[in-house]
Amino acid sequence: MKQLLMPPVIAHRGASGQAPENTLAAIRLAAAQGAKWFEVDVNISRDGIPVLHHDDDLARCSNGRGLVIEKTLEQLQTLDCGSWFDQQYSGERVATLDQCLDLAIELQLAVNLEIKPCSGWEIPTTQAIADVLKQRPALPEILISSFSHIALQCSAELLDFIPRGSLFMVAPPDWKKLTNEAGAVSINLHANSLLDAGSVKQFHNAGLGVYCYTVNTTAQQQELHAIGVDGVFSNYPKLLLEALPI
């Protein structure tokens, strides 16, 4: 098996159970809770700047309305991305990818960048992310992942020096072909997918690390560890880190 990249616990969207997801505050909290890796979702603004946001739409995680891709960065930066979660985070701004990477370096964290393009925007989104990564003087350790096979293939071309992980809800029948084409080092699956020790072994035999999202209880963490899963994404990294070693 290729060298495993990520540790047993990865903070999902930052420590998103206790701070607004995909914000700098959630990344800071993940570090404070002892996480060494965090995952964030990356989309682009209308003017092509990569920003952290999970949904296409702004409504759930900000006081904005409409789509991320419809707004310029300047417009996005006027939004409050914290009050929806808790008043203590009011005024939290949308984070750019650049800010996220600066913070990762400052906090000595590694980053799983999940490319989260709007449908049809897979290539421009990946290109914009590649531009940011290539222009920076320094990068933290990074794994790029995506549900979009197009984004992964584009990333393999533009950012061949950064490892990739293939994301699925459930591994499809042609997972071997797809992970191969993506040059993936890991397969990242929903925690309730059809995983058992046999399938985990097959993925390992294919040279893939196996990671599951989103795991928020130590019971599920232990079940997945018992069948050989290498690590889990959690909104509560502190809880799961405290349960280690399993």
39 touching ligand G3P, by CB under 6 A:
yes
| Window 81 to 120, contacts with ligand G3P (CB under 6 A) | 114
167 touching ligand G3P, by CB under 6 A:
yes
188 binds, among ligand G3P, Mg ion, none (CB under 5 to 8 A by kind): ligand G3P
145 touching ligand G3P, by CB under 6 A:
yes
Q: What is the 3-state secondary structure (H, E, C) of the chain?
A: CCCCCCCCEEEECCCCCCCCCCCHHHHHHHHHCCCCEEEEEEEECCCCCEEECCCCECCCCCCCCCEHHHCCHHHHCCCCCCCCCCHHHCCCCCCEHHHHHHHHHHHCCEEEEEECCCCCCHHHHHHHHHHHHHHCCCCCCEEEEECCHHHHHHHHHHCCCCCEEEEECCCCCCHHHHHHHHCEEEEEEECCCCCCHHHHHHHHHCCCEEEEECCCCHHHHHHHHHCCCCEEEECCHHHHHHCCCC
114 touching Mg ion, by CB under 5 A:
yes
Binding-site member from 85, 203, 233, 236 for ligand G3P (CB under 6 A): 233
User: Of the two residues 54 and 225, which places its CB atom closer to ligand G3P in the complex?
Assistant: 54
Residues that bind Mg ion (CB under 5 A): 41, 114
Residues that bind ligand G3P (CB under 6 A): 12, 39, 41, 54, 114, 145, 167, 188, 213-214, 233
